[in-house]
Structure 1
């Protein structure tokens, strides 16, 4: 998603993306290396920056962050329910 944000901002640097998201530059580096995943408010800002559905992005981030199988199943179910709604809107 960081690459998509880079494209959406005309090739902005990680430093600039960090500014746009309101996080330190090191946070972007941690996202890139997989040391961290964005917290929900940052995921929502990132979705907005990329022109993506914030609910779907937040669900995806939480799925990645989930520690238990129960949590993973919950976020998978939410994602499954988000995607058909999006597809219906595009089709009409």
Structure 2
């Protein structure tokens, strides 16, 4: 999702009508919001966390989404999109994931559905347990 779309969601959720208000509330300049609108910038990690807290969603979701937006590598973008799907509870193969408010991610079922035993030739590994994303 584009940074401007996250800002629009935030504005809708908070009832803010202007980008100026969003910039003020997030501690950003109006120029930064303008750069989000033009697509020349993505949310940095700190701003992504602020937006996530205001929207009451897990910060990992917005951080990963914005990292996927800014990468120039299609394989990296696909990997980030896959991870984002798994931690947001939309794991392929019927798996699920749970993300706690304090950033704890349980991806046991998502990982085993996706990686089932691992394949060294494809550089995949079986993952289980709870993990905290950096």
Equivalent position of 1:72 in the other structure: 77
Q: Tell me by how many angstroms 1:15 deviates.
A: 0.9
In structure 1, runs of 5+ residues without a counterpart are 88-92
For the residues of structure 1 that align with 2:71 and 2:34, how far apart are their CA atoms? 21
For the residues of structure 2 that align with 1:86 and 1:9, how far apart are their CA atoms? 26
For the residues of structure 2 that align with 1:62 and 1:81, how far apart are their CA atoms? 16
Whether 1:44 aligns to 2:53 is no
From the two aligned structures, give the one with the greater helix fraction: 1
Q: Which runs of 4+ in 1 moved over 4 A?
A: none
For the residues of structure 2 that align with 1:86 and 1:35, how far apart are their CA atoms? 32
Say which structure, 1 or 2, has more relative contact order (CA 8 Å, 6+ apart). Answer: 1
Whether 1:21 aligns to 2:38 is no
> What is the number of equivalent residue pairs in this alignment?
87
Q: Indicate the structure (1 or 2) with the bigger Cα radius of gyration.
A: 2
Alpha-carbon RMSD: 1.8
In structure 2, runs of 5+ residues without a counterpart are 1-5, 90-96, 100-134
TM-score by length of 1: 0.81
Equivalent position of 1:11 in the other structure: 16
